[in-house]
C-alpha cells in the first residue's frame, strides 16, 4: 500500500491501481483526489471534508451516519461497521469528536482501520482496538495536548507513526512537536511534508 500525505489530515492510499482518499478537506491539495475510487470522511468539519470538491467527484463518499454534511450525498457508517471501499477493507471505530471546550464541538467522528494495517483517527484519540502497522497521529488541534498525542502513540504501539492534522503549525512548532514525538515514542515516528510518501 502506498501512502501519500497531503496538507492537514488528508491521506491518499493506493494499491493495485485503486485509490482511497481519507479526509480531503478545504486545506488539502485538489490533486489528492485525482483518480480517486472512494473517499472516507471522519467527520463534518471543513478541514476534513471539502463539500464542493467532493460533490462533483462522482465516487462513493463514506462518512459517519450522524454527520451533518449538507449538499453532499454520503454513505452513512456507524462505529463497529466493516465495509469495502475502493477495494480496501475498512473498519469504523470511535464515535465522537474530541471535546474542545465546554462540551463543544460534539459531533460524530469515526476513525478508520484500513486493511488491518493503517489507522486514521480523525479528530479523536480513540484507540483502534487492534494492532496496526501504521498510525496517523494528530499533531496539533484546539482539542489536543502534545502529551495526549504521545500517550496515544505509545498506547497503540504501531511499527510506524506519521503525523497528520498539522495545517495550523508553523515551522518552529512543527519542529518541536516532531522532536517530542520522536524522542518520547518508540513507534518509528516520522513527519511527511505534503506530497511525501511511504
Evaluate whether 121 touches 156 at the Cβ level (below 8 Å).
no
Measure Cα distances from 14 to 28, 96, 125, 142 in Å: 17, 28, 25, 31
Average pLDDT over residues 22-27: 98
Where exactly are the structural domains of the chain? 2-190
**Running DSSP on this structure, what letter comes out for residue 124?**
S
Q: Residue 162's pLDDT is what? A: 98
Look up the pTM and report it. Answer: 0.96
Average pLDDT over residues 111-127: 98
CATH 4.10.95.10 fits 2-190, yes or no: no
List pLDDT tens digits, range 94-114: 999 999 888 776 799 999 999
Angle between helices 146-156 and 171-184 (to 10 degrees): 40
**Burial of residue 180, with CB atoms counted within 10 A of its CB: 0-12 exposed, 13-18 middle, 19 or more buried:** middle
Question: Is the omega angle on the peptide bond into residue 105 within 30 degrees of 0, that is, cis?
Answer: yes
Closest residue by Cα to residue 184 from 144, 158, 150, 139: 150
Average pLDDT over residues 4-30: 98
List pLDDT tens digits, range 147-170: 999 999 999 999 999 999 999 999
Sheet with 82-85, strands from edge to edge, namely 82-85, 88-96, 108-114, 118-120, 134-138, 160-164, 189-190
Measure Cα distances from 50 to 88, 122, 190 in Å: 22, 15, 27
Q: Residue 102's pLDDT is what? A: 84
Name the band, by pLDDT with cuts 50, 70 and 90, for residue 16.
Answer: very high
Q: Across the chain, what does the average pLDDT equal? A: 96
Evaluate whether 44 touches 67 at the Cβ level (below 8 Å).
yes
Which of 108-125 are b and which e, b meaning 16 or more Cβ less than 10 Å from the residue's Cβ?
Answer: bbbbbbbbeebbbbbbbb
List pLDDT tens digits, range 4-13: 999 999 999 9
Amino acid at each position: 500500500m502506498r501512502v501519500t500525505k497531503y496538507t492537514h489530515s488528508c491521506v491518499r492510499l493506493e494499491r493495485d491501481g485503486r485509490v482511497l482518499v481519507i479526509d480531503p478537506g478545504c486545506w488539502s491539495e485538489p490533486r489528492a483526489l485525482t483518480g480517486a475510487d472512494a473517499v472516507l470522511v471522519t467527520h463534518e468539519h471543513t478541514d476534513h471534508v471539502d463539500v464542493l470538491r467532493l460533490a462533483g467527484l462522482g465516487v462513493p463518499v463514506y462518512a459517519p451516519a450522524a454527520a451533518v454534511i449538507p449538499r453532499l450525498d454520503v454513505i452513512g457508517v456507524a462505529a463497529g461497521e466493516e465495509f469495502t471501499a475502493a477495494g480496501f477493507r475498512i473498519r469504523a471505530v470511535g464515535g465522537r469528536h474530541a471535546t474542545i471546550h465546554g462540551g463543544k464541538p460534539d459531533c460524530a467522528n469515526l476513525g478508520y482501520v484500513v486493511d488491518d494495517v493503517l489507522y486514521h483517527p480523525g479528530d479523536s484519540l480513540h484507540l483502534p482496538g487492534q494492532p496496526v502497522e501504521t498510525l496517523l497521529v494528530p499533531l496539533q488541534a484546539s482539542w489536543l495536548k502534545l502529551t495526549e498525542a504521545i500517550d496515544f502513540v505509545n498506547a497503540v504501539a504501531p511499527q510506524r507513526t506519521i503525523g497528520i492534522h498539522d495545517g495550523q503549525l508553523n515551522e518552529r512548532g512543527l519542529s518541536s512537536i516532531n522532536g517530542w514525538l520522536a524522542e518520547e515514542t518508540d513507534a518509528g515516528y516520522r513527519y511527511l511534508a505534503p506530497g511525501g510518501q511511504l
